[in-house]
Amino acid sequence: MTFAPENPEYQANQMSEINQIVAKYATEIDDTIRSLVNESPYLMRGIISYHFGWVDENFQPANFSRGKMLRPVINLLVYEAITGSYQAALPVAASIEIVHNFSLLHDDIEDDDIERRGRPTAWTIWGKPAVINVGDHLYSLAYKALHRLDPKQIPVESILAVNRIVNDTCLKLTEGQDLDLQFETLHDVTTEMYLEMVYKKTGALIEAAILAGARLATSDEHIIQNYYDFAHSIGLAFQIRDDVLGIWGDSAKTGKSVVNDLRRKKKTLPVIYMLDQTTGERKEKLQTLYIDPEPLSDPQIEFVRECLELVHAKNYAQEIADNYKQKSFDALDRIGTLNQAQIDLKTITEFLINRLY
């Protein structure tokens, strides 16, 4: 059994490596996104720029935290691992990051989240109708980004394949969010149901980033299949780690509350495991709490935390994440490529499963 290394020195070294990898691509990804956003109307452009961390709420230039950018970077790394360069894939990387952010804007509204990345969420400042519309606008910009793929460099059939991947992924994102919302009032959620939900809600976009990079770079089905296997496993592992951080993370690092998921009775993997493993009077009390439609109170949240600790739910969830991580590494090894981009993919994979934010 393995668990996430959480000592400060290990985390500092890992973050240093990740920052170096991301820095190689971040400016060009940002520039590509900005060039698309700059064509948007003033208010929409301002809200988008606020969400991305480029401006403050008065639309004055700023440099706030804007997320890890790992999905677009992974996309470029896959393309580079196969072809030796990454610039031709920048429109796809931008599209993936835009899709991610349109989904975040909508998720914040659906979940009534008031904080993201340590700042007020966009809807709390400009209202839900305006931000829903901005999310829809970003969705359209994601496809506009794909129009910048150059058919002189990339076969048309590959461009069409990437468009299909992005389109299918957007459908999966909405299906996953639908399942997540249903789970809040559904009493009997199994691990299998949970894995389907997180694959669609979170794993699908990571999978799209990887698979689109591979499809764009090669027609070799052996290579593509192994990148798909890598993507599927890492997407599930990423969300499971997110579940762990949603309960036991450090709010100062994650930028999100560590009580919100519990208060809203979200059926994350640790909670599903707890509900299955707890017995006796505690189980009866948990069943009563999770049948009641009202959010959990602070004392009830503390009781749930006690139950999670008693069944070692954190260790269980991390072990599942580690198993998926190993499957992802095995898939990368089957590809047989040994270059810096492939090494960087492994480094990011390690970070996704062991991250503290």
Q: Show the DSSP H helices in the chain as ranges.
A: 8-37, 42-52, 70-83, 90-110, 122-126, 128-146, 156-183, 191-198, 204-217, 221-248, 251-254, 260-263, 269-277, 280-291, 298-310, 313-335, 340-354
pLDDT band at 4 (very low <50, low <70, confident <90, very high): very low
Query: Residue 248 above 70 pLDDT?
Result: yes
Query: Residue 180 above 90 pLDDT?
Result: no
Q: What is the pLDDT of residues 17-64, one digit of tens each?
A: 999 999 999 999 999 999 999 999 999 999 999 999 999 999 999 988
Asked if residue 2 belongs to a domain, the reply is no
pLDDT at 111: 85
Q: What is the pLDDT of residues 207-225, one digit of tens each?
A: 999 999 999 999 999 999 9
Q: How many domains does the chain have?
A: 1
pTM summary value: 0.89
Q: What is the pLDDT of residues 60-83, one digit of tens each?
A: 999 887 788 999 999 999 999 999
Asked if residue 54 belongs to a domain, the reply is yes
- Rounded to whole angstroms, the Cα distance separating 137 from 47 reads 11
Q: Domain containing 243 — which CATH number?
A: 1.10.600.10
Asked if residue 205 belongs to a domain, the reply is yes
Asked if residue 245 belongs to a domain, the reply is yes
User: What residues make up the domain containing 219?
Assistant: 8-354
- Which residues touch 175 (CB under 8 Å, ≥6 apart)? 200
Asked if residue 1 belongs to a domain, the reply is no
Asked if residue 200 belongs to a domain, the reply is yes
Asked if residue 257 belongs to a domain, the reply is yes
- Which residues touch 59 (CB under 8 Å, ≥6 apart)? 46, 49, 50
Asked if residue 322 belongs to a domain, the reply is yes
pLDDT at 258: 76
Q: Tokens 């959990």 — which residue? A: 296
